[in-house]
Amino acid sequence: MKLSIKQKLLTLLAVPVLAAGFVAVPAFATDLSLSNGANSAQGTDQSPCLFGSEGDAACAGKTPVFKTITNVLLFIIGAVSVIMLVIGGIRYTVSAGDSSAVTGAKNTILYAIVGIVVALLAYAVVNFVIGAFVPKA
């Protein structure tokens, strides 16, 4: 029994439609506005300061959770990139003119610099997105 492509697509589309009819909407998710999306999914034991600015009343002088996570990851990526720069420099110094060793050392240095640039751009994008969606106090 061969199923045509049309029958397969209808079957794939029918499953989510049928499943959506049997799913009840939880009471806390009745407010489906975009600004309240994160708050409706927040549990009672979570920090009230996930995205907010440091001057926000919910934060009460604490650093927001996502900002802390971003800062820690940026520090780790920066530290690894600096270590790789040092390793690349040492490899370049001890290459003794071997062309394959020089190429490997240059690639290590290049990739470490690219890692630093990507980390800085990711930090800027995360801060821009969080700043765009968090209302100003």
Q: Which residues contact 109 (CB under 8 A, 6 or more apart)?
A: 84, 85, 88, 89, 92
- 51-107 pLDDT, tens per residue? 665 556 666 667 777 778 888 888 898 889 989 999 999 999 999 889 999 999 999
Lowest-confidence region among 6-20, 30-44, 95-109, 122-136: 30-44
> Percentage of the chain surpassing pLDDT 70?
55
> Percentage of the chain surpassing pLDDT 90?
22
Chain centroid, CA 34 distance in Å = 20
Domain definitions of the chain by residue range = 48-137
Q: Is the pTM of this model over 0.75?
A: no
